[in-house]
Amino acid sequence: MSLASDLYNSRSEIDFRPIWRRSLPLSFALIVVGLAIILVRPLNQSIEFEGGALYSVPVESSVTVGEVRDLLAIPEARIQRIENADGTIDIRVQIPTELAPIFDDVGTELATIARTGEQISRDTVGPTWGDQITNAAIRALVAFFVVVAIYLAVRLEPKMALGAIVAVVHDLVITVAIYALFGFEVSPATIIALLTILGYSLYDTVVVFDKVLENGAEASGKRTDYPELVNHSMNQVLMRSVNTTITTILPVASMLIIGALVLGGDSLRGFAIALIIGLFLGAYSSIFLAAPFLVSIKERFPDAAPAERS
């Protein structure tokens, strides 16, 4: 039978072990490279993190950036001209937080160039706010790791909890590194997407490890080779991983495409890019990082007695 049909009928016997011998070091190398990129290239943070004011003005297509710059006469202003998918033009103006006293005046001036019947949108953010929400997110993240590690250690095995956390860290670091590398804007939407990735990645890994436990319990009493056990379990859940990733990516991809087509923009895309990157990484890391990592720590630090918790 062909591989596709084997996969469909859960009869595949792909030997992952040779792949794992390469993918494990590769994944760790990726984490290191990712961290290096994040350190070297600062993230392109959205106004929510930087502070200041951001105006979005729907204008006639004849309006140019130069005209707006002359109108405002504020050297610090960052002015962008954005063409939406439906052909309309938005002017985006961002002003640093030091100019807070003139935020209102700028709004009034920009309103004069807006297309008739359109409102301008304005965001203002205090200078310390970004740090505060970043701190809140980091606190939540740390608490999450601690609680989830404890939960997984109890429900699965401590070594599995470690493997799952390593896989999640891998996914997060690489996603953030991609944002840093390509200069994608990091907004609160991105943070939400990152947190979602966290959930997906863990979900994937939990499914794999749960299968390993289940098969381990069935094989208890017999002499089993742990890598073989994990390899076999991996084959069993492979189609599940593939199908889950496909069913999750379908709605997110439609969000990315529709968001980009209808809006040319922002809000939805902020979520979708990070989600798609993270979903692929989550599927990859549960198969090619979490599983071999578990095998390798089991080999290096064998259990005193076979753990049979459930």
Q: How far is the CB of 153 from other proteins (least distance, A)?
A: 12
Among 21, 40, 61, 310, binds other proteins (CB under 8 A): 310
Q: Which two structure tokens, joined as six digits, stand for 169?
A: 């860290």
Q: 92 pairs with which residues across the strands?
A: 56, 80
Nearest by Cα to 204 from 162, 150, 241, 239: 241
Pick the closer one to other proteins by CB: 33 or 249: 249
Q: Which is nearer to other proteins, 28 or 236 (CB)?
A: 236
Report 200-219 residues binding other proteins (CB under 8 A): 200, 202-203, 206-207, 210-211, 214-215, 218-219
Q: By CB under 8 A, is residue 300 in contact with other proteins? A: no
Q: How many CA atoms lie within 13 A of 70 on its CB side?
A: 6
From candidates 78, 140, 308, 309, binder to other proteins by CB under 8 A: 140
Site string for other proteins, 275-294 (x = CB under 8 A): x-------------------
Report CA-CA distances (Å) from 195 to 67, 140, 222.
Answer: 41, 10, 41
Among positions 22, 40, 60, 267, the unique one binding other proteins when judged by CB under 8 A: 267
Q: Is 255 in the site for other proteins (CB under 8 A)?
A: yes
Residue 63 or 120 having the CB closest to other proteins: 120
Q: Using CA atoms, how far apart are residues 224 and 272, in angstroms rounded to an integer?
A: 43
- Maximum Cα–Cα distance for the chain, whole Å? 81
Distance CA 41, CA 37 (A): 6
Q: Is 226 in the site for other proteins (CB under 8 A)?
A: no
Window 4 to 63, contacts with other proteins (CB under 8 A): 8-11, 13, 15, 17, 48, 56, 58
Nearest-approach distance from CB 220 to other proteins, in angstroms: 10
How many residues make contact with other proteins (CB under 8 A)? 88
C-beta of 29 vs 254, nearer to other proteins: 254
Applying CB under 8 A, among 14, 151, 302, 306 the residue interacting with other proteins is 151
Among 259, 283, 284, 291, contact with other proteins (rule: CB under 8 A): 259
Q: Is 101 in the site for other proteins (CB under 8 A)?
A: no
How far apart CA 156 and CA 213 sit, in angstroms, is 7
In the region spanning residues 184 to 203, those forming contacts with other proteins, defined by CB under 8 A, are 188-189, 191-193, 195-196, 198-200, 202-203
Cα(63)–Cα(155) distance, integer angstroms: 61
Query: How many other CB atoms are found less than 10 A from the CB of residue 102?
Result: 14
214 or 303: whose CB is closer to other proteins? Answer: 214
- Dihedral, CA atoms, 66, 67, 69, 71, nearest 10 degrees? 160
67 makes contact with other proteins (CB under 8 A): no
Distance from C-alpha of 256 to C-alpha of 283, rounded to nearest angstrom: 19
Q: Is 80 in the site for other proteins (CB under 8 A)?
A: no
Q: Which residue is listed with tokens 């990152």?
A: 194
- Rank residues 181 and 224 by Cβ distance to other proteins and give the closer one: 224
- Give the separation between CA 41 and CA 110, rounded to whole angstroms: 33
The span from the CA of 164 to the CA of 159, in Å, is 9
Number of DSSP helices (H) and strands (E) in the chain, helices first: 11, 6
